[in-house]
Structure 1
Amino acid sequence: MNAITLDQIKCFSVLSEEGSFTQSARRLYRAKSAVRYAIGQLEEQLGFALLDRSAYRPQLTAQGRQFLKACGPLLEQHQRFLNACQQISTQIETRLAISVSGIYGLTHVYPHIRDLMSRFPQTEIILEREILSGERMLKEGQVELAIFEHLQDDKSLESKKIDEVRLQLVIARQHPFLALPKADQTVDQLLGYPQIVQRSTLPQDDVSKGVHRGALIWRVTDTPSKLEIISNGLGWGRLPEHDIKPLLDAGELIHLSHLQQDDSVDIFLCRRREGSVGKVADHFWNAFSERSIR
C-alpha cells in the first residue's frame, strides 16, 4: 500500500460531512476534480471502495464508515498539532506548571486558574501542591511559577510578595496537655508531647521549619495529614488560620494563644529571571498584585 496522505483523509472526511463533491470543494477551496481525484487515489491505495456513487449524492460504504471512524483520532491529533504550532508562534505555552505551598489556601489561586482556562483554553495547566520545596522545584525547572514561603535571597529568581499566612499554635481539646492546671500549661510542658511538623515534599530534602528545640518531632509531608493527626489528639503544632477556623469555632481544636507562639509567614510568587516568559505565565504573574513587606 502506497503512502496515504493526510490531504486525502481530510478530503474524505469533509466529503462525509458535506455530502457532495461541490460543497466539499468549496469548503476546501479546491477544484471539484481535485477532491474527486484525491478520494479516488485513496480508494485505489486502500483497495476498497469508500463511496457508493450509484445515487445522485455519494454515500459512504460500510468500509467507508469504518475507515472514517479509524481516521477520527488522527484528524484530532493533527488539529492539536496545528494548535500547538500556533501557540508556539504566538508565545502561548502549550503547558504551564505552577506549584503552590501547602499552607497557602487554593481559594486565592483558583480564580486566576479559571481566568487562564478561559483566556488560553489550549494550554494545559499543571498545579502542584508542595511543602518547603517550591523554590527548589522552580530552580530545577519542574515548574514555571511557584507560590511559596521562606524565600531565600536568590538573585536568579524574580519575586513579589502577594500575601501572608498566619500560623496558629493549636492542640486538640482532648489532648492531655489541656488537663494540666493553667499555670502548668507552658511551652516547656508542651515540649513533652510530640510536635507535628511538615517536611519537604522532595524526597532528597530533609527540611522542616518552625521546629522547637528539644521537642519530640513527628514529620508529615502534607498539611491535611498534619491537621488530622493534631485533631486526633496525637500532637500539637502550627496550622494555617484559614484551614482550622471551622475546627476552632466548633471547639475541636484549641488555640494556645496564651503561649504566644503563633507565627506568620510572607507568601511570594516567584519565577526564574533567565529564559523567555510566555504569555500565559506572564498573565498569571500580573494577576497578583504585590504587597509591601512589613
Structure 2
Amino acid sequence: MKLDQLKVLRAVVETGTVKSAAESLNRTQPAVSQALKALEFQTGTELFDRSGYRLELTAVGRRVYLQSLRVLAEAEDLTQLIRHFEKGQEETVTIAIDAAADPNLMTPVLAGLQTRFPDTRVILRAEVLSGAIEAVRSGAAALAMAPAIPVMLEEEGFDYRPLNGSVMRNVAAPSLLDAMNAPRTLADLRRFHQVIARDSGQASGLFDRELGVQKGQRRWYVSDLHMKKQLLVAGLGWGRLPEHLIAEELAQDRLRDIVLPHTHLSFEIEVFVFRQRRSAIGPVATHLWDAFAH
C-alpha cells in the first residue's frame, strides 16, 4: 500500500468522481482508476459502490478512508518536519488578522519578531468573519488572531489562547439618527441601508448566514471595516463595528450608538490567537505562538 494510492482515494472521495479526482490530481482517469483497483486488490474488498453516478464508499471503504486520512496527516507532518530541518527558520510566515481584532495586540509581538528574525518575511492577511479560520485550516496562515467561540476552535482541532475581549457596537452618524426619528424596533431600521462587511472566507458552518441582518433590510456590502466606517461616518448607512475602531469617532460625536428599547444591538466578542495542532512547527511560528502567552 502506497501513500500515492491513499491520496488518490482521498481525492475520489472528496470530488465524488474519478474524472474530477483526476483533474484535481493532474492525472489521467485511467491512472486514477488503476490506483483505486490496486488499493482494492491489496485490501481484498471493494471500497466503492459504483452503481450510481457518484462513487459512494462501502462500509469497509469508509473505514479505510478514515484511517487513510490519519496516515496522510502523519506523512504530511513528517514531510513538513524534514523541510524545517533542511531550511532552518522559515523564509516567510503568514499571520491572518480579523478586521474586528485590535491590531495593538499584535504590534508588540511583531516588534519582538522583527528583532529576533530580521530575515523572515512577514505577511499579514486581513480577514473578515470565517476568513481567519479558513486561512489557518488550509495552512495559508501559520496562525491567526480573530474573534471566535471556543467550541468552534475545538471542532477545528486548533490550539488556541484567549487574548482580550471587545464590544461590537451598532452605530450611525448623527444625521442618519435624526432621519431615523427615534426608532423603537429593528423593523424601523429596514428602510435605512445597513452596511455589511463581506465574509473573506467560504462562510461555512456558523458563518453560513448573515448574522444580525433582518429580512427585507436594505443593505450595502464592503470588503473591509475601514471602508464600512467611512460610509457610516458619511451618514450613508448604519452598522456594527468593534469599539476600538470607532473610539475616536464616538468621542467626537461623529458616530453614535443606535439605541432601541428592549433590544440589545451591541454584543461582546472574545479574541483568540489560534493555530493548527501540528507536530512540526518552525522556529518563527513557535516564537510567535509563545510570544502571545506573555
Same fold (TM over 0.5): yes
Deviation at 1:286, TM superposition (A): 1.5
Is residue 138 from structure 1 mapped to residue 142 from structure 2 by the alignment? Answer: no
Aligned counterpart, 2:190: 191
- Structure-1 residue corresponding to 2:163: 162
1:201 aligns with 2:203: no
Picking from 274, 289, 292, the partner of 2:293 is: 289
Aligned partner of 1:113 in structure 2 is 110
Distance 1:273 1:90 in 2: 21
Q: For 2:212 and 2:175, locate their aligned partners in 1 and report how far apart those are by CA, in whole Å.
A: 23
- Deviation of residue 208 (structure 1)? 6.0
Partner of residue 276, structure 1: 280
Over the matched positions of the two proteins, sequence identity in percent amounts to 24
Structure 1 counterpart of 2:247:
245
Q: What whole-Å deviation, never above 9, does each CA across 1:118-144 have from its counterpart, x for those lacking one? A: 011121111111112011111111111
Q: Deviations over 1:47-93 (max 9, x none)?
A: xxxxxxxxxxxxxxxxxxxxxxxxxxxxxxxxxxxxxxxx8558422
Query: Is 1:100 matched up with 2:97?
Result: yes
Deviation at 1:154, TM superposition (A): 2.0
In the TM superposition, residue 191 of structure 1 has moved relative to its aligned partner by 2.5
For the pair shown, the structure with the greater C-alpha radius of gyration is 1
The secondary structure found in structure 1 opposite 2:230 is: helix
Q: Distance in 2 between matches of 1:93 and 1:119?
A: 13
2:205 is the counterpart of 1:172:
no
In the aligned structure 1, how far is the partner of 2:95 from the partner of 2:156? 20
Q: State how far apart, in whole Å, the 2-side matches of 1:181 and 1:157 are.
A: 47
- Deviation digits for residues 155-179 of structure 1 (CA, Å, limit 9, x no counterpart): 431112212221111001111x424
Residue type matched to 1:268 in 2?
F
Supply the RMSD in Å over aligned alpha carbons. 2.4
CA 111–208 in structure 1, closer or farther in 2 if over 3 Å, else same: farther
User: Superposition pairs for residues 228-267 of structure 1, below 5 Å?
Assistant: 228-258=230-260, 259-267=263-271
Residue 257 of structure 2 aligns to which amino acid in structure 1?
H
Cα distance 1:149–1:199, how it changes in 2: closer, same or farther (>3 A)? Answer: same
- Between the two proteins, the alignment pairs up a number of residues equal to 202
> Quick one: distance in 2 between partners of 1:167 and 1:269?
19
Task: Report the counterpart of residue 14 of structure 1 in structure 2.
Answer: none
Note the C-alpha offset of 1:198: 1.1
- Are the structure 2 counterparts of residues 103 and 142 from structure 1 closer, same or farther at C-alpha, using a change threshold of 3 Å? same
Alignment gaps of 5+ in structure 1: 1-86
Change (3 A) 1:137 1:202: same
Counterpart secondary structure, 1:210: coil
Give the match for residue 149 of structure 1.
147
Change in Cα spacing, 1:230 to 1:119, as seen in structure 2 (3 Å) is same
Length-normalised TM-score, structure 1: 0.62
1:201-259 Cα offsets, whole Å, 9 max, x none, are 24788856533222222221100111111111111111111111111111111112455
The change in CA–CA distance for 1:209 and 1:282 in structure 2 (over 3 A counts) is farther
CA separation in 1, counterparts of 2:105 and 2:134?
22
Report the AA paired with residue 104 of structure 1: A
**Contact 2:94–2:143 under 8 Å retained in 1:** yes
Alignment partner of 1:238: what SS? strand
Answer whether contact 1:178 1:185 (CA < 8 A) is retained.
no
- Determine the C-alpha separation between the residues in 2 that align with 1:247 and 1:231: 8
The answer (yes or no) to whether the contact 1:165–1:241 under 8 Å persists in 2 is yes
5+ residue gaps, structure 2, are 1-83
Distance in 2 between residues matched to 1:289 and 1:116, nearest whole Å: 14
**Equivalent residue letter for 2:268:** S
**Contact kept? 1:197, 1:208, Cα under 8 Å:** no
Once residues 217 and 181 of structure 1 are traced to their aligned partners in structure 2, the CA distance between those partners, rounded to angstroms, is 19
